[in-house]
Amino acid sequence: MATSLHGKLVTVIGGGGFIGRYLAQKLLAAGARVRIAERDPRKALAIKPLGGLGQTQFVAADIARPDTITRAVRGSDAVVNLVGIFAGDLDAVHVRGAGHAAAAAKAEGASFVHISAIGADPEAASAYARSKGAGEAAVRAAHAHATILRPSIVFGPEDDFINRFARLIRLLPVVPVIGAATRFQPVYAGDVADAICAAIADPARHGGRTYELGGPDVLTMRALNERIAAATGRDRAFMSVPSFASRLLAQATGWLPGAPLTFDQWLMLQNDNVVAADADGLAAFGVTPTPLAAVTSGWLVQYRRHGRFGTRAPL
């Protein structure tokens, strides 16, 4: 794969974000030239030391502004779209923006990898899942040979999912769990990056196909919280919140800034977030999924009492 990527110019739209940093590191290590397209490129400058001199380029681009994306992808061998939002103009970003990015890549003769999400469906009840589904259709219409990847919840030391629950568990003696029975299949950010690299390296094999990416662990929301508590050394009681109560909470307060749960998020929690039984996944890219515990053991220690100084070294 490294040979296939060496010297290629890969433009990563939204490359300064969580997954983007993992992807950039792997692309640079493989000898690719990486162009990070961000609304504020200064937020992505931490990527620059990861590559050699002149190996990384930063450009200002906004996926909701087609002219900036057209400029950003010029001369690219491959384009990756990582942009996703949970609030705001979902159609502008997930549908029109993704479609234009795919069309711009097609016009350059570049391969295109689009990051969607498990549950993407134009007929979904959730606006997020619905816009993701419509976005996939827009990408296919603009670039039929695009590769679409649908990850489950993506985890890693910098994520905003596992860390959010770890902070909550640290603060509360009794932890309410919304969507306690909903199942997730968390996938490591590094594994998602490996799959993207493999798709770029062999577009003839992976182009025009859709994959669902999940890790080896399938956990309910409650089991996930219990595992986080165990990893952080917190003895906590967990209270599963009834669906009708969480719905009322989301409808009554979800519109407020900083609300713990929006109504759209509540809708998403009504469906499992796991890889479909008949879907191709990480194995198709030759990637062995990383267990949650393999990463969290060295990361969640920060949420223990006294951090690393409060733990005994293993014998």
**Which tokens go with 206?**
């992976």
In the chain, pLDDT over 70 holds for what percent of residues?
Answer: 97
Is residue 232 assigned to a domain? no
With vertex at residue 21, the alpha carbon angle to CA 20 and CA 27, rounded to the nearest 5 degrees, is: 85
Q: Which segments of 96-220 are extended strands (E)?
A: 111-115, 147-151, 154-155, 174-177, 183-184, 187-188, 210-213, 219-220
Is residue 35 assigned to a domain? yes
Question: Can you give the pLDDT at residue 24?
Answer: 96
User: For the residues 1-13, what does the mean pLDDT come to?
Assistant: 88
User: For the residues 275-291, what does the mean pLDDT come to?
Assistant: 97
Q: Give the pLDDT confidence of 19-66 residue by residue, as tens digits.
A: 999 999 999 999 999 999 999 999 898 999 988 888 999 999 999 999
Is residue 253 assigned to a domain? no
| Residue 306: other Cβ atoms inside 10 A | 8
**Per residue in 79-106, is it b (16+ CB within 10 Å) or e — as a string?**
bbbbbbbeeeebbebbbbbbbbbbbbbb
Is residue 173 assigned to a domain? no
- The CB-based long-range contact list for 294-302 (8 Å cut-off, 24+ gap) reads 295/155, 295/156, 295/157, 295/188, 296/155, 296/162, 296/228, 296/231, 297/231, 299/157, 300/162, 300/166, 300/228, 300/231, 300/232, 301/232
pTM score, two decimals? 0.94
Is residue 130 assigned to a domain? yes
Q: Which segments of 120-270 are extended strands (E)?
A: 147-151, 154-155, 174-177, 183-184, 187-188, 210-213, 219-220, 237-240
Question: At 259, is the pLDDT very low, low, confident or very high (cuts 50, 70, 90)?
Answer: confident
Tell me how many domains the chain contains.
1
User: For the residues 216-238, what does the mean pLDDT come to?
Assistant: 95
Q: Is 52 exposed, middle or buried (0-12, 13-18, 19+ CB in 10 A)?
A: exposed
Closest-CA residue to 193 (of 32, 39, 75): 32
Question: Can you give the pLDDT at residue 68?
Answer: 98
Least confident window among 12-16, 162-166, 185-189, 305-309: 305-309
The residue range of the domain holding 68 is: 2-154+186-214+274-287
Alpha-carbon span 51 to 54, nearest angstrom: 8
Q: Give the pLDDT confidence of 141-179 residue by residue, as tens digits.
A: 999 999 999 999 999 999 999 999 999 999 999 999 999
- Specify the CATH number for the domain of residue 87: 3.40.50.720
Is residue 48 assigned to a domain? yes
Q: Give the pLDDT confidence of 306-315 residue by residue, as tens digits.
A: 777 766 544 3
User: For the residues 226-233, what does the mean pLDDT come to?
Assistant: 93
Is residue 239 assigned to a domain? no
Is residue 242 assigned to a domain? no
Helix (H) or strand (E) holding 293: helix 292-296
